[in-house]
């Protein structure tokens, strides 16, 4: 009887052990399935599988960015264990390679990072770290290869260009950046645009740019307009105008004129110091045969043409010729002049009256002290009943008033 009891107890214990093993095996299978099915950064995985290599490496890579590259010893130890468990995961090489840089083992770090890049050629942070090391050690061909890969991945205008822009400002990598950019014009343009949008001094861009890049600076998407717009937005109007002159190769006489291209000859140069013309819901402004042709729809108010001026304080006179069919009362066109900064006080508002005959109009105004730049704009003003207006404007003159010459 006792023997049967002992056998029964052993059988029961074995059954319980097998049951527990089955439950544990089922949980492990479930956890494995969840780990495979969910992305490694899914919050639930931090609870279900905190020591899973994918979870550990994903958390470490995120912390690497959030903590500016400084990881605690426990995290680094977890990464080393994860690297042994997942030897084909590039994130382990990224974290450990970066730590080797911090530990002043650059040669070992480059070897580690290069191994990580072979596993994941698309990792942007590895790209940046290797690029920096290649430039600092004079490996220009390798740096150029990093650029080429970045361009194929469509990253030249993003993180890579921004990083290179910063490297171009550092004395230890400035010359290396210039030599490397000379291998790829597209990358050079991307870096120069990134610099133009930063707080880099204009002289830095002109010194970095190759002769080809300087010739192409004035393109619509070029670094010239980006630099000019940034300086204007910062209120550095005189500096912006000097850069504008240099980018477009304008003469001193052209730049010294109070109004640029008053005869609508379509001279080279980007807005805001040249004419900015509108074509949209308000209407359309076009330069045709030395005139400014205006098609104003009369439904909405808005600007049709504008230019930024840098007039010194004093009294001025603005003149223009108008030609167009006579229009009924309602919508109208007018030239206005406002300070570009500060309280943006209006100094002039001159009606563009279409009388059916060509005639000359004029308006006097005064630029006050402290108004470093002024915005001249031609606007349409909607009336009660929409009436289209077709007007031609020519022969603009802006000069000091009689007593100010």
The secondary structure of 302-344, three-state, reads EEEEEEEECCCCEEEEEEEEEEECCCCCCCEEEEEEEECCCCC
pLDDT at 4 over 80: no
Mean pLDDT of 110-132: 85
User: How many whole angstroms separate alpha carbon 331 and alpha carbon 364?
Assistant: 23
User: How many whole angstroms separate alpha carbon 283 and alpha carbon 381?
Assistant: 11
389-400 and 346-352: which strand pairing? unpaired
The overall average pLDDT reported for the chain is 81
pLDDT at 153 over 90: no
CB 117 within 8 A of CB 133: no
Which residue bears the tokens 């220009």? 140
Mean pLDDT of 318-334: 85
pLDDT at 232 over 80: yes
Q: Rounded to 5 degrees, what angle do the CA atoms 347, 351, 353 make?
A: 165
Which of 89-98, 209-218, 367-376 comes out lowest in average pLDDT?
89-98
**Would you give the end-to-end CA distance of the chain in angstroms?**
130
Per-residue pLDDT tens digits for 127-151: 888 888 887 887 877 877 777 676 6
Alpha carbons within 13 angstroms on the beta-carbon side of residue 10 total 6
Nearest to 221 by CA among 246, 194, 253: 194
pLDDT at 72 over 80: no
pLDDT at 96 over 70: yes
Which of 181-190, 213-222, 344-353 comes out lowest in average pLDDT?
181-190
Alpha carbons within 13 angstroms on the beta-carbon side of residue 389 total 37
Would you give the DSSP letter of residue 368? P
Both structure tokens of 79? 């990464």
User: Cβ contacts of residue 21 below 8 Å, gap of 6+?
Assistant: none
Residue 323's pLDDT band, with cuts at 50, 70 and 90, is very high
Per-residue pLDDT tens digits for 18-28: 444 443 333 33
Highest mean pLDDT among 176-185, 286-295, 350-359: 286-295
pLDDT at 404 over 60: no
User: Cβ contacts of residue 379 below 8 Å, gap of 6+?
Assistant: 301, 302, 303, 304, 333, 334, 336
pLDDT at 291 over 80: yes
């Amino acid at each position: 009887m006792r023997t049967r009891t002992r056998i029964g107890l052993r059988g029961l214990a074995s059954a319980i052990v097998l049951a527990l093993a089955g439950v544990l095996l089922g949980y492990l299978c479930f956890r494995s399935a969840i780990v495979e099915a969910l992305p490694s950064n899914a919050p639930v995985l931090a609870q279900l599988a905190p020591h899973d290599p994918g979870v550990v490496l994903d958390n470490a890579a995120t912390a690497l960015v959030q903590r500016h590259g400084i990881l605690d010893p426990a995290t680094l130890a977890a990464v080393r264990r994860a690297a042994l468990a997942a030897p084909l995961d590039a994130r382990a090489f990224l974290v450990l390679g970066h730590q080797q840089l911090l530990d002043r083992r650059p040669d070992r770090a480059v070897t580690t990072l290069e191994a990580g890049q072979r596993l994941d050629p698309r990792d942007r942070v590895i790209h940046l770290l290797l690029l920096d090391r290649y430039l600092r050690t004079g490996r220009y061909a390798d740096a150029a290869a990093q650029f080429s890969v970045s361009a194929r991945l469509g990253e030249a205008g993003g993180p890579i260009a921004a990083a290179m822009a910063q490297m171009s400002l550092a004395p230890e990598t400035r010359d290396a950046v210039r030599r490397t950019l000379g291998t790829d014009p597209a990358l050079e343009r991307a870096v120069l645009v990134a610099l133009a949008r930063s707080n880099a001094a204009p002289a830095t861009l002109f010194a970095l740019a190759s002769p080809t890049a300087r010739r192409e600076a004035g393109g619509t998407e070029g670094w010239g307009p980006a630099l000019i717009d940034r300086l204007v937005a910062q209120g550095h109007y005189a500096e912006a105008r000097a850069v504008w002159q240099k980018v477009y190769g304008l003469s001193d006489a052209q730049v010294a004129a109070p109004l640029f291209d008053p005869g609508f000859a379509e001279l080279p140069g980007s807005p805001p110091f040249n004419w900015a013309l509108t074509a949209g819901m308000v209407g359309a402004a076009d330069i045709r045969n030395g005139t400014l042709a205006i098609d104003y729809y009369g439904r909405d108010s808005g600007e049709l043409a504008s230019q930024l001026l840098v007039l010194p304080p004093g009294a001025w006179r603005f003149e223009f010729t108008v030609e167009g069919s006579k229009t009924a009362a309602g919508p109208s066109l007018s030239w206005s002049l406002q300070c570009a900064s500060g309280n943006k006080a209006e100094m002039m508002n001159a009606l563009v009256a279409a009388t059916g005959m060509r005639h000359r109009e004029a308006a006097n105004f005064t630029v006050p002290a402290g108004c470093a730049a002024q915005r001249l704009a031609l606007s349409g003003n909607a009336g009660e009943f929409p009436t289209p207006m077709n007007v031609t404007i020519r022969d603009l003159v802006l000069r000091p008033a009689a007593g100010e010459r």
